[in-house]
Amino acid sequence: MALGEVTFTLNITVAYGAPSCFARQIVLTSGYFEPAIIINQGDTLRINLINNIPASFPTVSDGISIHYHGLRMSGPAAWLDGVSYIGLCPVAPGSSYQYEFKVNDPPGTYLWHDHAAGFKGDGLEGPLIVLPPRAGPPVMPLPGAAPAWPPAAQPDLWSYDGDHTLFLNDWYHATTSSMLFRLNQPFDAAKVTNDSGAWNWVGNPQAVLINGAGFYGDCALYPVAGGGPTPPACAPSAFTVAAGRSAQQPWASNNNPGCTHTQVTVEPGKKYRLRLVNAGLLVYMSVCFEGHNVTIIAADAVPVAPVSSQCVDVNSGQRIDVLLTADQPAANYWISVVPQYRTGAPAGYAVLNYAAAGVNASTFPATPAPQPVNITPWTNDMAAKVVLAPELLVPSADPKVARYRRPDQASLAPPAAASKVVYVNLSQPLFSENGQLRWALGNVAMPRTPPCQPLLSSLRKDPKYLTKQAVPASQLNGTGVGPNVLVGTAGPSRTSPVYYEGLSPVPVYPSVGLHIVELAGGAVVDLIVNNNAANSFNGDLRPTVGATRTAQEQHPFHLHGHRFWVLGRGSGGNYNATAHAAGLNTANPAYRDTVTIAAGGWAYLRFVADNPGIWPFHCHILPHIFMGQQLYFVEDIKNLAKPPSKTPKYNFAPYTKSWLRAKYGMSGWELPPL
């Protein structure tokens, strides 16, 4: 192997597994569940992706793709960002594809996951760790095994004695696609037919996994949808759970082959780096360390001014690195993961184990398990034991942080002023034509299954490809002829309309289509996101169905291809320049790739359009992006790098009951009951 070249083969298969003690079909990567990819800054990374998922396995996409969450993916790598239908088509069952690109991103904690079929909720994901540059080639293991890494060519910013990752996941006992199919079916009961089926929310998870381990019986689960008026009672009783009947869910006894919990072993007096990764589909999490304060050192792979706390908030898609010193009496201590905003969701538990005489490594702590409670995140109230939201952490002032800048960045401070302002209003419209419920940005919900001639390929052939298809004002809804939802379906040609900012006015009524915002190369963009009531902007076209749909919820928004500065955040209404502009932080704002938009609140972001390509901006809650909560920034296409020489081929279809039965038949947990 040449110096600086690292190859991983990801052979994707389906097997029965029970990470939470409930056996169901899961997705494995070269035989491992959620394995880590570990590389060094400056390496050329090769991913040999082999799709051996059976074509008969029910999925919302006939293929898979890998997204490298948090990596910049610039130059030729813009084609390999892993978002299906943009750079490449998904890799179809029985096919393979090789991703190859240089990792220039700074050392830190990232993640990889499927970005096509929802398989990330079945195990197709894992940590992606970028270490400082090294002097020699590694000895490459299989995924999941311990690599033999030579010493780094330059030290990290922090000194520590050990390095652990806590990969956090909310886990469901149904496959992800079986839940997503239902979200594409009518919410409006008047539109439900025998063939269409009815909309059904995914509900709360049945377990929280820490490094792929946990037990659904640790907490008393609420039935069916999983919601409840109060947090559940949790009483984890055994570190290793034997096969057999569960008192919480006796009906699941035949599916309980046994499971265990994660153990993080430390030596007394030593210091450890813990990498917290929220890879969940839905749940905002607070991670607490019994008896220990941890020091936050990085957020989304950016060093931050250190903050000490017993607990740390981390939303879906976010990564928080902390230092923990094993300075307490030798014993076992709880590591608890408490969901927020999803009342009734279970907690997850792991053990911080001191490697010392008299400490049993495979038992729970003697103290009672911490209970999930309704607490208010984003505060420094240590009675609540939750630290401020990670996107409010300011960058570190350590001069050595300069190595975390790109070569073309003078500093990590934001540009002084913007050249373009983009407003994004969030809502959840209900469409009258088909009764579907969607999430929209600027009153446009993005479709899930366009045909695959990737957008980048179309734009490279014709830079005006999208502007030619932009919906003009004369054809847009709300012009006196009534709503025009313009729902497109997959097929041999692109039938979804294009809403192009600057050419297509914001729809008066909710619409479905490709939501495009074009950015000139080098533009400084201020992105203002307002989180509105669900039925805002004529979102209830049948008022008798949803006139009271005024609820709001938090959204973790992720921007591909960039980091952004979080100049400000607020709650209690939309951004208002008169009230809020003076309070924006332009001196040392947080620098992130994923930010939480508070329920009923706003966020003011700034980024530089210096990465030619098409970059999604979307909610990282998987059911939300599936329901349309995203837009695409089309950036400096004239300077786009050449595409790879080989690309996958693909196409797919919608999810009526008759279509699902014809394709997959009836097969229990892999499909919802039809």
DSSP track, 267-304: -TT-EEEEEEEE--SS-EEEEEETT--EEEEEETTEEE
Mean pLDDT in residue range 476-482: 38
Question: Distance between CA 661 and CA 488 in Å, rounded?
Answer: 22
Name the burial class of residue 160, with classes exposed (0-12), middle (13-18) and buried (19+) by CB atoms within 10 angstroms of its CB.
middle
Q: Domains for the chain: give ranges and CATH numbers.
A: 5-142 (2.60.40.420), 418-639 (2.60.40.420)
On the question of pLDDT at 492 being above 90, the answer is: no
Residue 143 pLDDT level (bands cut at 50, 70, 90): low
Give the pLDDT of residue 475.
56
Q: Is the model's pLDDT at 652 over the cut of 50? A: no
DSSP 14-42: EEEE-TTS--EEEEEETTBSS--EEEETT
Cα 406-412-418 angle, rounded to 5 deg:
105
Pairwise pLDDT comparison (471 vs 568), residue with the higher score: 568
- Indicate the pTM of the whole model: 0.91
**132-146, 472-486, 592-606: least confidently modelled range:** 472-486
pLDDT at position 378: 43
Sheet holding 271-278, edge to edge: 207-210, 162-171, 271-278, 319-325, 294-299, 302-309
What residues contact 407, with CB distance under 8 A and at least 6 apart?
none
The yes-or-no verdict on residue 656 having pLDDT over 70 is no
Among 8-12, 405-409, 488-492, 512-516, the minimum mean pLDDT is found in 488-492
Encode pLDDT of 48-78 as tens digits.
Answer: 999 999 988 888 887 899 999 999 999 999 9
Percent of the chain clearing pLDDT 70 (strictly above): 82
Evaluate whether 168 touches 285 at the Cβ level (below 8 Å): yes
SS3 of residue 661 by DSSP: helix
- Phi and psi at 457, nearest 5°, equal -65, -45
Average pLDDT over residues 279-304: 94
Q: What is the dihedral of CA 241, 247, 253, 257, to 10 degrees?
A: 0
* Contact present, 451 and 492 (Cβ < 8 Å): yes
Comparing CA positions, the residue from 206, 117, 107 lying closest to residue 155 is 107
Tokens of 528: 């203002």
Q: Which two tokens stand for residue 270?
A: 């030593």
Which residues are registered as beta bridge partners of 17? 24
Confidence of residue 128 (pLDDT cuts 50, 70, 90): very high
The pairing of beta strand 498-500 with beta strand 284-289: unpaired
pLDDT tens for 304-355 read 999 998 989 999 999 999 999 999 999 999 999 998 888 889 999 999 999 9
Confidence of residue 433 (pLDDT cuts 50, 70, 90): confident
Band (227; pLDDT cuts 50, 70, 90): low
- Which pLDDT score is estimated for 164? 97
At 223 the pLDDT is 66
Which pLDDT band holds residue 651 (cuts at 50, 70, 90)? very low
Residue 472 has pLDDT above 60, yes or no: yes
pLDDT at 250: 52
